Amino acid sequence: MDHVQDQDKANTEEMSKRIFPVVPTTKILAIGQFTKPPTPEQMKEIFPKEVPATLRLYLAGKIDQWWIRQTQTGPVFLLNVTSLKEARALMEKLPLGQAGLMKHEFIELGPLTPLHLLLNDGGSTAGK
């Protein structure tokens, strides 16, 4: 098993121990980090490709929102996808990913589960 599969397995085991109902993944947060600072030459070569490729993902509805970290060490994307596999594939296809200059941490997001406590039925339909 590779590191990604080990992490996915650990996340699944963690989810089975939760006290709140399981909710669907509705978005994924992708936090980018440069693997090493790009050289000026790499910036001239890759960034003119990276920006249009990222814009195409936004226009295709895959990126909901995007920001830059204040540290300038990478972008943060709120993705309109529900699987880690698709999120990884999208980020790896971007020019910085293909060049091995960008890695991402992925966080699955879903509806706020404690809200089920406000429902009269205790949230029995949460996750369905």
**5 or 75: whose pLDDT is higher?**
75
Question: Coil, strand or helix: which one is 2?
Answer: coil
Residue given tokens 């091995």 in the structure block:
100
Apex CA 103: angle with CA 99 and CA 109, to 5°? 140
- Tell me the whole-structure pTM to 2 decimals: 0.77
Position 115 scores a pLDDT of 78
Residue given tokens 């309109």 in the structure block:
80
Rounded average pLDDT over 55-78: 96
Position 107 scores a pLDDT of 98
- pLDDT-above-70 percentage for the chain: 80
Handedness of CA 88, 91, 95, 97 (dihedral sign): negative
How far is it, in rounded angstroms, from Cα 52 to Cα 55? 5
Confidence of residue 117 (pLDDT cuts 50, 70, 90): confident
Residue 124 confidence (pLDDT) above 80: no
Cα dihedral: 114, 119, 120, 123 (round 10): -70
Rounded average pLDDT over 88-117: 93
Confidence of residue 5 (pLDDT cuts 50, 70, 90): low
Q: Specify the amino acid at residue 74.
A: G
Q: Nearest to residue 98, comparing CAs of 37, 62, 49?
A: 49
Q: Bridge partners of 77?
A: 30, 66
